[in-house]
Structure 1
Amino acid sequence: MEMTFNSERKQTSIIPMTIVAVLFFVLGFATWLNGSLMPYLKQILQLTPFQASLILFSFYIAVTFTALPSAWVIRKVGYKNGMALGMGVMMIAGLLFIPAAKTQIFALFLCAQLVMGAGQTLLQTAVNPYVVRLGPEESAAARVSVMGILNKGAGVIAPLVFSALILDSFKDRVGLELTQRHIDEMANGLVIPYLGMAIFIGALAWVVKKSPLPELLNEDNDAEINSVGQIKEALSHPSLALGVAALFFYVAVEVIAGDTIGTYALSLGIASYGVMTSYTMICMVLGYTLGILTIPRFISQPTALMISAILGVLLTLGIIFGDNESYVVANTLLVPFGGAQLPDTLLMIAFLGLANAIVWPAVWPLALSGMGRLTCTGSALLIMGIAGGAFGPLFWGLTSSISSIGQQGGYMVMLPCYLFILFYAVKGHKMKSWQ
């Protein structure tokens, strides 16, 4: 899709890039806040693992239903207004958490999550093109990597902020049966933080609306690009169709690793369960950094993808069959430096962040290779793979609810995901026909 600025491009893009960087941070903050929110609501509302997984499902399923409508909205109002509108929807979602907390009605929390996911989808659809267009095309990959680090870096900070503002006062209640008074106190603890977040996002929306961000114009016919015929033709390419599936499975395991780790920590009686997502995000940022330094200088994209998948399989087996009373990893890597003593199984979930980090940037170029005029349609289909974030935790929750398996055994749902990614790295991306 060709895009041009409708005004003269400024010699410097520092201010626009700074605004875009802030938006990517906000996206990451709101997304990875789910890792702390999920176990917190599980405790307050006394949810089963399956019910708790619906908190993530309602957030990520919004991508499936609102991705194409978001593109239509942006064609009508423009990219800059689309960003402001997306944040306006996110602000409404933040405000919806207030009546949800006051009434403690699970359906209202799910509604708030769905609206938050819809707002994020609109914002992402609008903001991503700026990363490519605000600077030389040859350095676009570097800008994408920086934005990815900002997004995951926000995932490190969000649980820490959530814990500091909400969880610290209630750490002594982990593992205890809560009275209604305790539940009311914990639920009301969500009101001020979410009100503050809604006000901040609303103010940021106004800043973006009034900012000097240049508008982007589409010169192609989007209706033609999104036509059924184009989609069918794109999916006739095995490397693209299998790439969509690979991203679906990748986002599934990424969200399981990032957003269920707190719930699993809560089941083990870990008082600091609210910050566990930060451990996974730190590993992801490390993985991003390693990818920037090593690909393609030392290893190719398919090789990096293969290594990631194998590491994911090994860590998953370690989680499933590991001993929750073993602290070897923590005693080696954390305790000597003043870190917490955490079970090996919990830290292996965090290490999945390292295995997952390279998958997204590796699959995209492999899936779009040779697509030519179908590149835009292929990109839209790849974005739809984010829906894996809705179904991965859902299947984890269903499996975890089986008494003979439990939450630890529930992580077995990641095995077929990593095995498929391994297949794509070894063979799937090379397939040129279905014969």
Structure 2
Amino acid sequence: MGKSYVYPMFIIGTLFFVFGFLTWINGILIPYFQICLELSNFQSTWVAFSSYVAYFVMAIPSAWILKSTGYRKGMFLGLIVMALGTALFIPAAITRTYSLFLIGLFVTGTGLALLQTAANPYVAIIGPIESHAQRIGFMGLANKIAGLLSLAIFGSVFLFNADDIIKQVEVASIVEKEQILDSYALKIVNPYIIVTLILLLLSVVIYFSKLPEVKDETENQAEEGIESKSGILKYPYLLLGVFALFCAGACEVIPIDGIILYSKSLGISINESRYFAQYTLYAMIVGYIVSVLFIPKYLSQQKALLLSALWGMFFTIVAYFSSGIISVGCVILMGFSASLFWGTIWGLSLKGLGKYTKLGSAMLLMSVVGGGIFPVIFGRLIDINVDYPQTSILLLLPCYAFILFFALRGHKVIKWSGFNK
């Protein structure tokens, strides 16, 4: 990485830290809301849906905003919107209103979408596309380290003595139950006041930073072997990449956001399982270190994606046929492969798009909605498969299968007629 890019990459790394801190907290919020709002598994997973659907709704509008504001001001606006979203948690907790929590999550996700629409292509164009997965590896480390801190801090606050709260609620009268749950819901107020203030402070820092505007050098170029085309829909490998990243959302989010629900369905206490999301992030951090050290010097993006898909398929099958802590351990190990999906799929999908690079980036970001849709289905599968909840983990198998297809062939398809060959 050139010295001229050290400062901007530090700024972007700080933003990826913010992404991680507020994205991976969902793994704690899902069981927390399930307890204090008395939700089913299906209802509680709407936390993930509300967060990720914002990416689908706001990705292309965010690209339009960035076109007029530029990267720096766009990032500033994103942080302001995120602060508005986190501030909504305060009245939501006081009134114990789930819909208001979900609105706060959506607004926060809207700000994140604007930030990521700026940050991801910035990382892509700041250096060669072949080493994009390596640069994303650095960003991923910042993201997952922040996630670890988020889960450790908020998990110790929101889920402390959660099993005792559940037992108290089961034997309490209606009035006593309301008092217990009202008090439990207020645990979120002070932490989210602090988070809101930090976001506002960071927005000021970004606004007055000297983050350079980087010109997309590929804007008027087509990669060798890929002719310039008249529309974004005429790039099959991009559209296949969008769907592959949609599937990757399930493979990344469920092992973190859904692991406490999954563990609980297998009879493991919350007091024990509240640490499991952190373990998944540790597995992801190892994956990011591998990407930084080996891609592209020793391992191509395509080969890394192929091996990661096979890894995920293997542990999905083992998780289904095992039980208890063994099954949970397999889900945790899926985090290793999930860490390699984002950078590799993104890099393989953006090659040679030329003037469509920014639009292609927005489309890829829209696919993150998979991280919201699949957990909802996952929660519903746990609810309806009480006797054998491992069935729910099979949801990941077709996702890994499509990612495997994209690694083997999909990223090579430059014409729709290529499917017939």
**TM-score, scaled to structure 2:** 0.86
Within the candidate set 53, 60, 73, 2:45 is matched to 53
> How far apart are residue 25 of structure 1 and its match?
0.4
Q: Equivalent residues in 2 for 1:191-210 (5 A)?
A: 191-210=189-208
Q: Which residue of 2 aligns with 1:3?
A: none
Identical amino acids, percent of aligned pairs: 38
Equivalent pair of 1:252/1:392 in contact (CA under 8 Å): yes
Q: Equivalent residues in 2 for 1:93-242 (5 A)?
A: 93-131=85-123, 142-168=134-160, 170=162, 172-173=164-165, 177-178=169-170, 179-215=177-213, 233-242=231-240
> How far apart are residue 307 of structure 1 and its match?
1.7
For the aligned residues, what is the CA RMSD?
A: 2.8
Within the candidate set 397, 407, 415, 2:379 is matched to 397
Equivalent pair of 1:171/1:272 in contact (CA under 8 Å): no
Equivalent pair of 1:174/1:271 in contact (CA under 8 Å): no
For structure 1, list consecutive stretches of 5 or more residues without a partner in the other structure: 1-9, 223-229, 325-342
State the aligned residue count.
401
Q: What letter matches 1:354 in structure 2?
A: F
Kindly provide the CA deviation profile for residues 179-214 of structure 1, in whole angstroms up to 9, marking residues without a partner as x. 322212210100000111011111111121122323
Q: Which residue of 1 aligns with 2:82?
A: 90
Q: Which residue of 2 aligns with 1:227?
A: none
Kindly provide the CA deviation profile for residues 309-357 of structure 1, in whole angstroms up to 9, marking residues without a partner as x. 1211121122222121xxxxxxxxxxxxxxxxxx112221111101212
Distance 1:368 1:123 in 2: 19
Equivalent pair of 2:138/2:288 in contact (CA under 8 Å): no
| Higher deviation after alignment, 368-377 or 160-169 | 368-377
Q: Equivalent residues in 2 for 1:16-415 (5 A)?
A: 16-131=8-123, 142-168=134-160, 170=162, 172-173=164-165, 177-178=169-170, 179-215=177-213, 233-267=231-265, 268-324=268-324, 343-403=325-385, 407-415=389-397
> How far apart are residue 216 of structure 1 and its match?
5.1
Distance 2:131 2:309 in 1: 28
Equivalent pair of 2:246/2:367 in contact (CA under 8 Å): yes
Distance 1:53 1:353 in 2: 19
Q: Which residue of 2 aligns with 1:332?
A: none
Equivalent pair of 2:248/2:338 in contact (CA under 8 Å): yes
**TM-score, scaled to structure 1:** 0.84
Change (3 A) 1:99 1:231: farther
Equivalent pair of 2:136/2:343 in contact (CA under 8 Å): no
Change (3 A) 1:356 1:135: closer
Equivalent pair of 2:76/2:203 in contact (CA under 8 Å): yes
> How far apart are residue 124 of structure 1 and its match?
1.5
Q: What letter matches 1:420 in structure 2?
A: F
Q: Which residue of 2 aligns with 1:329?
A: none
Distance 1:430 1:127 in 2: 26
Q: Which residue of 1 aligns with 2:174?
A: none
Change (3 A) 1:93 1:376: closer
1:417 matched to 2:399: yes
Distance 1:306 1:133 in 2: 24
| Higher deviation after alignment, 260-269 or 413-422 | 260-269
Change (3 A) 1:418 1:34: same
Distance 1:216 1:297 in 2: 25
| Higher deviation after alignment, 30-39 or 137-146 | 137-146
> How far apart are residue 23 of structure 1 and its match?
1.5
Change (3 A) 1:212 1:384: same
| Higher deviation after alignment, 59-68 or 270-279 | 270-279
Change (3 A) 1:38 1:322: same
Distance 1:146 1:292 in 2: 7
Distance 1:157 1:368 in 2: 32
Equivalent pair of 1:320/1:412 in contact (CA under 8 Å): yes
> How far apart are residue 243 of structure 1 and its match?
1.4
Distance 1:219 1:104 in 2: 50
Within the candidate set 428, 432, 435, 2:410 is matched to 428
Distance 1:78 1:242 in 2: 29
